[in-house]
Structure 1
Amino acid sequence: MGKRLRNWETGGFFWTVLAGTALHFLYDWTGGAVWAAVISAVNESVWEHMKLLLVPVFLFTLVQQAALGRQYPNLPAARAVSLLAALAFLPAAYYAYTGALGVHALWADILLFVLAAALLFALDCRLLRRGTFDAGWQQAAGLLALWALVFVFAWCTFRPPDFPLWQDPARAFS
């Protein structure tokens, strides 16, 4: 059972990195299609880059739940906790390095995205193996959190708050 889970989590990591990378360009590739805006980055804001982690992980979760849900009934809650941790890591690490160094580097952004995906699936694997968050109410809360994240990210794409997390730094300097 452990090897199968590790294979799924490793596959989820690679899927997330590859799909997230493709989603970075999808909005431009479609000429700014509204449907693409819901699932991909529409600008260079930190928030939109967090969406590049959320969407592939959410889609992978649907597939993984169908395949492993009986063996790992704690998947929704564990994934929600792991995803929230990784989503919190991205802006914290981005603002830490840009604030400390005073510069922005594309290679560092890419590294942070890969590290966030690795953090997510490593934590997720640990939580799933331990059977953490196995109560029914925790599963319901996990499902609610996952769907709420999808809704909030889509909503904020079209109605971004006026805070730095949602602002496109490329436009701020032009």
Structure 2
Amino acid sequence: MKVKFFRNLEIVGAFFVFSLAFLLHYIYQLTDGTVFSILFGAVNESVWENTKIFLIAYAIWGLVELLVSNVYFKPFVVGKVLGIYFMGFFIIIMHYLFSLFVGDKMVGVDIAIGIFAVIFSQIISYRVALSDKNFGAYFIPSLFLLGLFLIAYFSFTVFPPHMGLFKDETTGFYGILPNYVDKGAAVLNNL
């Protein structure tokens, strides 16, 4: 394996993941709610939907890396799964932690949290993939966690639990806003 090439892929990946997440944030609005945009974009301004776009962008980049690099498969998968879970937890925890100090209107802080989450996740996956330790032994549990992630990922947008994590911070609704609801009126009603 070419370590320098893989390191450069991880660096490029950080830019790719953040850029794709930025695009996915707006794809639902740009496509008027197509099925693709529901599954891969942010359908509202909940913490989950804003985390989801980073997670799918990270997973897509992981597939690209796997196809173009000559990396050991099992440690690579373990590293990417650790990275995806770290990213999700980091974004969610840091969002709620900073909202205690900054309040609800913290777009700049959320962007910074996303950037740091991407960078840290790339570092984690890089170190695990190239580690001398036997991370291949964690391959089967990683596949289980990856499957669990995919189930949660594709379920929570369409069938969100009624918890704060899934509540749209601007409208107060969960999941996809029904067509009959005027979003502007919902925002004013939620203030």
Q: Which moved more, 1:157-166 or 1:147-156?
A: 147-156
Flag structure 2 segments of 5+ consecutive residues without an equivalent: 173-189
Separation in structure 1 between the aligned mates of residue 148 and residue 132 of structure 2, nearest angstrom: 23
- Give the TM-score, by structure 1 length: 0.91
SS in 1 for 2:171: helix
Whether 2:68 is the aligned partner of 1:67: answer yes
Q: Which structure has the highest helix share of the two?
A: 1
User: CA, structure 1 residues 132+162, in 2 after alignment: closer, same or farther (shift >3 Å)?
Assistant: farther
Question: What code does the residue aligned with 2:56 have?
Answer: V
Q: Which has the larger radius of gyration?
A: 2
Separation in structure 2 between the aligned mates of residue 61 and residue 67 of structure 1, nearest angstrom: 10
Q: Which residue of 1 aligns with 2:127?
A: 126
- Give the TM-score, by structure 2 length: 0.83
Whether 2:153 is the aligned partner of 1:144: answer no
Equivalenced residues, count: 173
Q: Which residue of 1 aligns with 2:41?
A: 40
Q: Which residue of 2 aligns with 1:19?
A: 20
Q: Deviations over 1:29-56 (max 9, x none)?
A: 1101122100110000000011111111
Flag structure 1 segments of 5+ consecutive residues without an equivalent: none
**Relative contact order (alpha carbons < 8 A, sep ≥ 6): 1 or 2 greater?**
1
Separation in structure 2 between the aligned mates of residue 135 and residue 78 of structure 1, nearest angstrom: 10
What is the identity percentage for the equivalent residue pairs of Structure 1 and Structure 2?
A: 22
Q: Which runs of 4+ in 1 moved over 3 A?
A: 69-73
User: CA, structure 1 residues 132+159, in 2 after alignment: closer, same or farther (shift >3 Å)?
Assistant: farther
Root-mean-square deviation (Å): 1.7
User: CA, structure 1 residues 107+46, in 2 after alignment: closer, same or farther (shift >3 Å)?
Assistant: same
Superposition map of 1:84-95 within 5 A: 84-95=85-96
